[in-house]
A and B are shown apart, each in its own frame.
Chain A
Amino acid sequence: MMNRLFEKGRMKYIFALLVFAIGQLLVVTGYLNDYLFSTLTTLCINIILAVSLNLITGFTGQFSLGHAGFMSIGGYVCALISMRIPTVPGFLLGVLTGALAAAFVGFIVGLPTLRLKGDYLAIATLGMAEIIRIIFLNLKITNGAAGLNGIPQFVDWMWLSLFTFSSIILISNFIRSAHGRACVSIREDEIAAESIGIHATKYKVTAFVIGAFFAGIAGGLYASYFYFLRPTLFGFSRSIDILVIVVLGGIGSLSGSVIAAILLALISTYLQAFPELRMVFYAVALVVIMIVRPQGLMGSKELSLDLLKGFGRKRQRGGS
Chain B
Amino acid sequence: MLEIRELEVYYGVIRALKKISLHVEKGEIVTLIGANGAGKTTALRTISGLLRPTSGSILLNGDDITQASPRERVRKGMSHVPEGRRMFPDMSVLENLELGAFLRRDKEAIEEDLMRVYERFPVLYERRKQMAGTLSGGEQQMLAIGRALMSRPEVLLLDEPSMGLAPLLVQEIFNMIRTINESGTTVLLVEQNANMALQIASRAYVLETGSIVLSGEAKELMESEEIKKAYLGGN
Contact = CB atoms under 8 A, between A and B. Distances in A.
Interface of A: 178, 181-182, 184-185, 188-189, 191-199, 252, 300
B91 A184 contact: yes
How many interface residues does chain B have, given as a range?
20 to 34
A314 to B, nearest CB: 17
B63 interface: no
B95 A196 contact: no
B87 A196 contact: no
Interface in B28-62: 48, 50
Given A185-B91, A191-B50, A196 B102 contact: yes
A195 B88 contact: no
Contact of A192 (B88, B103, B150): B88
Contact of B80 (A181, A188, A195): A195
Interface in B51-88: 69-71, 73-75, 79-82, 86-88
Interface string B144-179: 000110110000000000000000000000000000
B1 to A, nearest CB: 19
B102 A191 contact: no
B140 to A, nearest CB: 11
A194 B50 contact: yes
A197 B70 contact: yes
B180 interface: no
Contacts of A199: 69, 71
Interface in B100-117: 100, 102-103
B74 A197 contact: yes
Interface majority SS (helix, strand, loop, mixed), chain A: helix
B221 interface: no
Nearest to A199: B71
Contacts of B79: 195-196
8 contacts: A182-B102, A188-B88, A192-B86, A193-B99, A197-B73, A198-B71, A252-B90, A300-B90
A14 B86 CA distance: 40
Given A196-B102, A197-B71, A189 B87 contact: yes
Given A191-B82, A191-B86, A197 B91 contact: no
A196 B99 contact: yes
A309 to B, nearest CB: 16
Contacts of B103: 196-197
A185 B50 CA distance: 16
Given A192-B86, A194-B70, A199-B69, A181 B50 contact: no
Nearest to A186: B88
A197 B88 contact: no
B102 A197 contact: yes
Please indicate which of the listed interface residues A185, A188, A189, A195 has the most CB atoms of chain B within 10 Å of its own CB: A195
Contacts of B70: 194-195, 197
Contacts of B71: 197-199
B102 to A, nearest CB: 6
A198 B87 contact: no
A184 B148 CA distance: 18
Given A182-B102, A189-B86, A196 B91 contact: no
Please indicate which of the listed interface residues B75, B102, B150 has the most CB atoms of chain A within 10 Å of its own CB: B102
Contacts of B81: 195
B88 A185 contact: yes
A239 to B, nearest CB: 25
A181 B95 CA distance: 9
Contacts of B87: 188-189, 192
Contacts of B148: 195-196
A237 B116 CA distance: 53
B89 interface: yes
A252 B89 CA distance: 14
B69 A196 contact: no
Nearest to B101: A196
A230 to B, nearest CB: 41
B75 A197 contact: yes
Which 8 A-B pairs rank lowest in CB-CB distance, beginning with the nearest?
A: A197-B74, A188-B88, A197-B71, A192-B86, A195-B80, A197-B103, A189-B86, A194-B70
Please indicate which of the listed interface residues A191, A192, A197 has the most CB atoms of chain B within 10 Å of its own CB: A197
A195 B46 CA distance: 11
